[in-house]
Chain A
Amino acid sequence: MTSRPVTARAAGTDGRAALKHFTRAFGAAIVVLVVWRVTTVGLAEGYPASFWISQALNGLVLGGVYALVALGYTLVYGILFMINFAHGEVMMIGGITGYFALQFALARGWMEGPWAIVVIALLTIMVIGMAASVLIGVALERLAYRPLRQAPRLVPLISAIGASLFLQYSVLLIFGVSPHSYRKPALISGGLRLGDVFIPYTGAIIFITSILLMLALYFIIQRTKLGRAMRAVAEDRATASLMGVDVNAVIVVTFMLGSALAGAAGVMLGFHNTVVKFNSGFIPGLKAFTAAVLGGIGNIPGAMFGALILGLIEAVGPSALGIPTEYKDVIAFSLLVLILIFRPTGLFGEVLSEKKA
């Protein structure tokens, strides 16, 4: 019979009218509550506009990093329908490796050299971090996921949880508990001042780099033969393999791409947060996954925008609602819960469903 988009199915189950009314009322109540809180508390604090702008810029930077990690989740999910729970750790490994590369460069004095050397060194550090992440990502796929491809869906999830713990605590055992602190070279430690708004160089660089990397990924997926193969496998693995696509190779490449982006994110997050340690991939990984779900998991532009939105809300939310910043994680997760209740396919789920329909 005719195949229909996801929303049609959701509309089809609206026999549960009471539940729908309940969720609608619930949603309306939350919107009212948030608006009331923002207008009476957040805006009443009288922060200057520059404060909001710098918060928003902060959020964009964070969102850029989340986006890189979220893309890894979304790519793997799109093809294997599994949550690569260890993806945050892949990112952390990139950060740790980047730290050592940075130490090496610092010891050689390259970070005080002419700006061309510094830029090349920084790029090399990022590439080394990416390479390490790719290595771990591919090993992960080969050892922990590939043997489980035919298994029911809970099994690879548990395996991924095991792998995540294994990576975290191996790093703890090998490199110790204490955080490793990134030292920014003088060239990028300053910032740009536009009126009252201060933009740190690292923030700007991180945001631009992540946008560039995302564009590169988008190009690979939309314009290259490899990307076409990836999309084919995501649509229908069996048919793609019948059409002569090497499914295993595509899956490996998917992991490589996702891990490379995560590695870059790991290094940049290292510069942003100034420290990396064994568990510093966990919460960002969780947030990035949230972002991927927010945008509709499996949907690449969705992951990017989901991450930017999440970063923005996380940065602006606490001040806007007039609550302590400790609650920024609560805001992030509540947002996720709310989005999924009202749009179970994510914010940009439509794109996905049209493609699949």
Chain B
Amino acid sequence: MTALLSLQHVTKVFGGLTAVDNVDLEIAERSITSLIGPNGAGKTTLFNCLTGLHRPEVGEILFDGSSLIGLRPDEITDRGVARTYQNIRLFGRMTALENVLVGQHLRLHASHWSAVLRTRRQQEEEHAARESARALLRFVGLHGREEVVSTNLPYGDQRLLEVARALGSQPRLLLLDEPAAGMNPSETDRMMELVHRLRDEKGITIFLIEHDMKVVMSISESVAVLDYGEKIAEGTPEEVRADARVVEAYLGPEVAVQETAGPASG
């Protein structure tokens, strides 16, 4: 399989702190890859570099063969990279449907003049956008919640809505920042199922940050581990689980000898 996303020597420095240090990573098309690491390891910073929020000082990010470095966040989204946020950042006063419609912004092309005149084409496009937004909400399991103002949605539904909004831009690569954080077990199961369906039914490549090791180990095909901004391990879940450096990073050198099933870091 060809790599959809490839990172080469990506480095991001804040002041004196190297948040992401010389990271190389390849993500295959239609794969589910997890990024794990202790708190402050630079995971979200790496996501921010990918989506154009930060510009790495060194390194190259290739998406489908072309560089993402120096592009604006909206241009990167246009190329087909969408994301969700660790702490939910929905457009709070908009309804669920409107949130997804904003997600589709890039895929709508009617001019603003035609919106004033309500031309037939603009109306058709708007209608189609609404239909597909409804379909996306159905897909993530928010059927019947279209007109609910997003802050009034339950927590788990807000996470699902973030995914739906990201899907609005028809991404090929979806970055999920701790999609199951703060969810109860049944919600977590729902989210994991959704991640699988995203890949299987929509063919979207998934790259996610997760702390819940149960989730990571059960859904990912490959796992990358960051610690102090450096990639310390990469491989299948089983390989990573067995890696001594990973255990050390999570539990500290003293306890590293006593192997445990999964770190309890949250």
Question: Which residues on A are within 8 Å of B, measured CB to CB?
Answer: 1-2, 4-5, 8, 11-17
Contact = CB atoms under 8 A, between A and B. Distances in A.
A15 B54 CA distance: 8
A2 B54 contact: no
B15 A1 contact: no
Contacts of B73: 15
A354 to B, nearest CB: 10
Nearest to B49: A12
B43 A12 contact: no
A14 B48 CA distance: 13
B70 A17 contact: yes
A75 B71 CA distance: 39
B72 A16 contact: yes
A15 B40 CA distance: 24
A2 B14 contact: yes
Contacts of B19: 2
A12 B39 CA distance: 21
A4 B73 CA distance: 19
Given A1-B44, A1-B86, 15 more contacts: A1-B45, A2-B19, A2-B42, A2-B45, A5-B15, A8-B14, A8-B15, A12-B55, A13-B53, A15-B52, A15-B55, A15-B73, A15-B75, A16-B72, A17-B70
B50 to A, nearest CB: 12
B22 to A, nearest CB: 17
Contacts of B48: 12
Interface of B: 14-15, 17, 19, 39-40, 42-45, 48, 52-55, 70-73, 75, 86
B53 A12 contact: yes
Given A15-B70, A15-B73, A16-B72, A4 B55 contact: no
26 contacts: A1-B39, A1-B40, A1-B43, A1-B44, A1-B45, A1-B86, A2-B14, A2-B17, A2-B45, A4-B14, A4-B15, A5-B14, A5-B15, A8-B14, A8-B15, A11-B54, A12-B48, A12-B54, A12-B55, A13-B53, A14-B55, A15-B70, A15-B71, A15-B73, A15-B75, A17-B70
A6 to B, nearest CB: 12
Contact of B55 (A1, A2, A11): A11
A13 B72 CA distance: 8
Contacts of A11: 54-55
A301 B266 CA distance: 40
Contacts of A8: 14-15
A14 B45 CA distance: 15
Contacts of B75: 15
A17 B54 CA distance: 13
A13 B54 CA distance: 6
Contacts of B44: 1
A15 B72 CA distance: 5
A12 B53 CA distance: 6
A5 B72 CA distance: 21
A13 B74 CA distance: 12
Most chain A CB neighbours (cut-off 10 Å) among B42, B45, B70, B72: B72
Most chain B CB neighbours (cut-off 10 Å) among A8, A12, A13: A12
